[in-house]
Every structure is written in structure tokens, then in C-alpha cells.
């Protein structure tokens, strides 16, 4: 074994062999792998094809409908006072918790909030307009580096105000989305994914290249970035940044929700379902898809600027492909097109691994098992979006039907 794994210490080799001789330990490993594969295959086949799964889903849905359709629950849900009470309770939690969490939890929840911003933006591109983009991290990096170059003392010493640099990062990310989308909006599916993947890698390599070190600071990254001020006072503690990220998340969710329910959102949904039919009904596919890419890129630019300012540093290694993969996973795991699903997916994919860090030896095991079970039982996501429903016209009971109108005309 040391011929193939020369860097492994003898203790680790013995641990891998279950403290057995080489032949016996190898047979144990082989039996363990084969047995695990067979067990996984049997579980996948049994769970995927058994009737109990469909019956369980039906029972859960029926129970949920019985609860939600009860008169008391509907009155509570439709009461304006209950909504106000829920909003007040949520506001109190968001105000009080950052003061009690401490620096570690504020940093962790701040990271979750930044990924919620990224997920909301990518959900517009992938979940609503149906464009598979794998280079989303490029817009995140453009927002972060725009903010950094305008506020860092090196290499240009522009030292711009935090709020102006934040707006500049958002605007440049949106403009980059438009410039990228102009030549590629006619691509679909895998072709669009490959092109955007290449764009993301181009941005990362340019940020890291020694050739552009005079402009981007190269592999060293940008340090000592600007921090926000409010009415002339510093707003830079971990609690302040948590509040800032919470406000940004609330505004982004509100904007995304309003856009989704607007005419633009309905056009995106029609393009996602069938682009050809959408174009036949008068939807300008090119314009609406380009708009989705620009708005999604703007959200990524906002997340990048906040990320760089909070960390007081941004470098090429902060904007690798895995960031795009993580954001795409949280959108899919949470439920495509669902903002509550994005929030839950961000907590599951970014918050849960850090919470399980105390159980270092079993952290990835538990996380991987959770993903496997979820993909089998909930392939549409944890909180999938519901299909939009058309509110049909309800005719007046006293109005005459078409047959009655015809009879009256015949008699007259």
C-alpha cells in the first residue's frame, strides 16, 4: 500500500487496514465497499419503486390540507393582526439575535445571508427564466473586485466611499451580464452552461494572472477594503455587518418577489416552460432572457461587494468554480423558483456543514447521507415552488347565460 500512498503515515495505514495484516485488511475494505454498494442499490430500488412512498406522500399532503383548510386556521392565516404579529416577531428575532450570537455565529449566519443573495440572483436566471448558467461566480468576483479596487489603498488608492463603491459593484456586474448575454442568448442548455463556465474560469485566471498584477494585485488579492459608515459613524462590527446583510437579504427577496409576480416574471416562466410557444405568443425571448441575466448578475455583484467588505479582503481563490456549484446546488436542493426554498437550501448547504464541524470525523458523512436521502425522497427540492394559478372569472349568479340571451332574442 505504501507504494501507492507514500505520504501516508504508518498509523493511518494501520487504521485503514483495521489494524489487521495487509491481506486481511484489504479483504475487509473490499467487502465493505461491495456491501455498501449493494445496500445502496437495494435501498434506491426499494425506495424509488415501492408503493409506500406514494402513499406516504399522499397521507402527508392530506394531513396538511386538513390543517390548512380548517376554518380556525384559515381565519388565523387571513387575519391582518396575525400577519402583523408574525412580522413583529420576526423583526424582533432579527434585531435581537445578532447581539446575542457572538462573532462566530454572526460570521456564519452572515455567510449564509450572502449565499441567500447569490441564490436569489441565480434563481432568477435558472429557476425562473430556465437558463443553465455555471459561471455565476464571475459576477460575484466582478462585484467584489470592483468594490475592492475602488476602496483599497493598493494598487490604485482611489479610496472611494463605501456606498458609492457598492453601487458601482452592482452596476458593473449587471453591465457585464448584459455584455456576456448579447452574443450567447441564442444558446440553450448545455451549450449555454459551457460558455458561462468558460467565462467564469477566464475571470478567475485574469484575477490571478501576474500580467495584470498592476491592476488587480494578482494572487495577493486586495486588502484593507472600505467599511460602511452611517451618519458619519462607523458601522463595521460583526453585529453591524449582520444587520447590513439582513437588510440586503430582505430587500433582495422583496424585489425578486415583486418581479416574479409582474409581467416580466410571467414572461420568464413562459420561456422556462416552452421558449417556442412563449415567442409565438408575443414574448421577446432574447430581451427577457438578457434582462434575467442582468438582474441576476446585479444580485451577485451586491453579494460580492458585501463579502469583500466584511472580510476586509478578496482574492482569486474566493471566486472559484465551487462557488457557482454551491449556489446552483442550494437553488436545486431548496427548490427551483422558490424563495423560501433558497433560504432553506442556504442554511442546509452552508450553515449545516459548519454546525457539524464539531463532529469533524462524521461531518461529511452526515452531510452526504442527507443529500442522498433528500434527492431520493424530495427530488423537486425541500420547498418547491407551486405552479402559478390563474384566477378564473366567476360570473354573477343573476346574470343571464348565453342560451337565455339567445332565447330572449328569438322571442323578441
DSSP structure string for 76-106 = HHH-HHHHHHHHHHHHHHHHHHHHHH-HHHH
Residue 212 inside a domain? The answer is yes
Residue 204 is predicted with a pLDDT of 92
Residue 409 lies inside a defined structural domain of this protein: no
- Alpha helices (runs of H) in 217-237, residue ranges in sequence order: none
Given a contact cutoff of 8 angstroms between Cβ atoms, the answer to whether 319 and 144 are in contact is yes
| CA–centroid distance for 235 within its chain | 27
Residue range 87-121, pLDDT digits in tens: 888 888 888 989 988 898 899 999 999 999 999 99
What is the pLDDT, as a whole number, of residue 71? 60
pLDDT of residue 51: 65
Count: domains in the chain: 2
Total Cβ atoms within 10 A of residue 360 = 8
Tracing cell 380556525 back to the chain, one arrives at 72
**Domain check: are 263 and 360 in the same one?**
yes
- Residue 247 is predicted with a pLDDT of 95
pLDDT at 404: 58
Pair 32, 143 in one domain: no
pLDDT of residue 137: 94
> Within 13 Å and on the Cβ side, how many CA atoms surround 50?
13
Kindly provide the b/e burial profile for residues 169-201, where b requires at least 16 CB atoms within 10 angstroms of the residue's own CB. Answer: bbebbbebbeebbeebbebeeeebbebbbebbb
Could you tell me which residues come within 8 angstroms of residue 221 by beta carbon, excluding any fewer than 6 positions away?
313, 314, 315, 316, 318
**28/121 same-domain check:** no
Please check whether residue 102 lies inside any domain of the structure.
no
pLDDT of residue 257: 92
Do 8 and 113 have their domain in common?
Answer: no
Does the pTM surpass 0.75? The reply is: yes
Q: Quick one: 12 and 140 in the same domain? A: no
My answer on whether 147 and 232 are in the same domain is yes
Rounded Cα distance, 130 and 296, in Å:
12
Residue span of the structural domain in which 28 resides: 1-47
> Does residue 179 sit in the same domain as residue 282?
yes
* Assigned domain for 95 exists: no
For residue 373, tell me if it sits in a domain: yes
pLDDT at residue 376, as a whole number? 77
Q: What percent of the chain has pLDDT over 90?
A: 41
Angle at 35 between CA 31 and CA 39, to 5 degrees: 175
Same domain? For 28 and 128 the reply is: no
Q: Please provide the DSSP assignment of 114-155 as one string.
A: HHHHHHHHHIIIIIIS----S-THHHHHHHHHHHHHHH-TTT
CA distance 110 to 103: 10
Instruction: Please report whether residue 144 resides in a domain.
Output: yes
* 88 within a domain of the structure (yes/no): no
Instruction: Looking at the structure, tell me whether residues 119 and 251 fall in a common domain.
Output: yes
CATH number where 153 lies: 1.10.3470
Residue 352 lies in a domain: yes
Residue 287 pLDDT: 94
Mark whether 200 and 312 lie in a shared domain.
Answer: yes
Q: Is 255 exposed, middle or buried (0-12, 13-18, 19+ CB in 10 A)?
A: middle
Collect the ranges in the chain with pLDDT lower than 50.
Answer: 397, 405
Q: 284 and 149 share a domain?
A: yes
Q: Same structural domain for residues 28 and 151?
A: no
Amino acid at each position: 500500500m505504501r507504494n501507492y500512498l507514500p505520504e501516508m503515515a504508518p498509523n493511518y495505514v494501520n487504521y485503514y487496514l483495521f489494524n489487521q495484516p495487509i491481506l486481511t485488511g484489504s479483504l475487509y475494505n473490499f467487502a465493505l465497499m461491495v456491501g455498501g454498494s449493494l445496500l445502496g442499490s437495494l435501498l434506491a430500488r426499494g425506495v424509488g419503486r415501492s408503493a409506500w412512498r406514494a402513499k406516504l406522500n399522499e397521507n402527508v399532503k392530506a394531513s396538511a390540507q386538513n390543517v390548512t383548510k380548517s376554518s380556525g386556521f384559515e381565519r388565523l392565516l387571513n387575519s391582518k393582526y396575525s400577519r402583523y404579529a408574525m412580522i413583529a416577531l420576526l423583526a424582533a428575532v432579527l434585531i435581537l439575535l445578532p447581539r446575542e450570537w457572538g462573532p462566530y455565529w454572526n460570521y456564519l449566519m452572515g455567510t449564509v445571508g450572502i449565499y441567500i443573495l447569490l441564490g436569489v440572483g441565480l434563481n432568477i436566471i435558472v429557476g425562473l427564466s430556465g437558463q443553465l448558467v455555471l459561471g455565476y461566480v464571475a459576477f460575484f468576483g466582478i462585484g467584489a473586485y470592483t468594490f475592492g479596487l475602488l476602496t483599497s489603498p493598493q494598487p490604485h488608492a482611489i479610496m472611494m466611499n463605501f456606498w458609492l463603491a457598492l453601487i458601482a459593484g452592482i452596476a458593473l456586474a449587471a453591465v457585464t451580464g448584459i455584455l456576456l448575454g448579447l452574443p450567447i442568448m441564442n444558446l440553450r442548455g448545455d451549450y449555454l452552461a459551457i460558455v458561462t463556465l468558460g467565462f467564469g474560469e477566464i475571470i478567475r485566471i485574469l484575477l490571478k494572472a501576474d500580467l495584470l498584477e498592476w491592476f488587480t494585485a494578482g494572487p495577493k488579492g486586495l486588502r484593507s477594503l472600505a467599511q460602511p459608515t452611517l451618519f458619519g459613524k462607523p458601522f463595521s462590527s460583526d453585529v453591524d455587518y449582520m444587520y447590513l446583510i439582513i437588510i440586503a437579504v430582505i430587500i433582495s427577496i422583496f424585489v425578486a418577489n415583486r418581479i416574479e409576480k409582474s409581467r416580466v416574471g410571467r414572461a420568464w416562466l413562459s420561456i422556462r416552460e416552452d421558449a417556442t410557444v412563449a415567442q409565438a405568443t408575443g414574448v421577446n425571448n432574447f430581451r427577457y432572457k438578457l434582462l434575467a441575466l442582468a438582474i441576476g448578475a446585479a444580485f451577485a455583484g451586491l453579494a460580492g461587494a458585501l463579502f469583500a467588505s466584511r472580510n476586509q479582503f478578496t482574492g482569486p481563490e474566493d471566486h472559484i468554480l465551487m462557488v457557482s456549484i454551491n449556489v446552483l446546488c442550494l437553488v436545486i436542493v431548496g427548490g427551483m423558483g422558490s424563495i423560501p426554498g433558497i433560504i432553506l437550501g442556504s442554511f442546509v448547504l452552508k450553515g449545516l456543514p459548519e454546525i457539524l464541524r464539531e463532529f469533524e470525523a462524521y461531518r461529511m458523512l452526515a452531510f452526504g447521507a442527507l443529500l442522498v436521502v433528500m434527492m431520493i425522497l424530495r427530488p423537486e427540492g425541500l420547498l418547491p415552488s407551486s405552479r402559478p394559478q390563474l384566477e378564473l372569472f366567476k360570473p354573477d349568479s343573476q346574470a343571464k347565460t348565453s342560451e337565455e340571451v339567445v332565447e330572449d332574442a328569438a322571442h323578441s
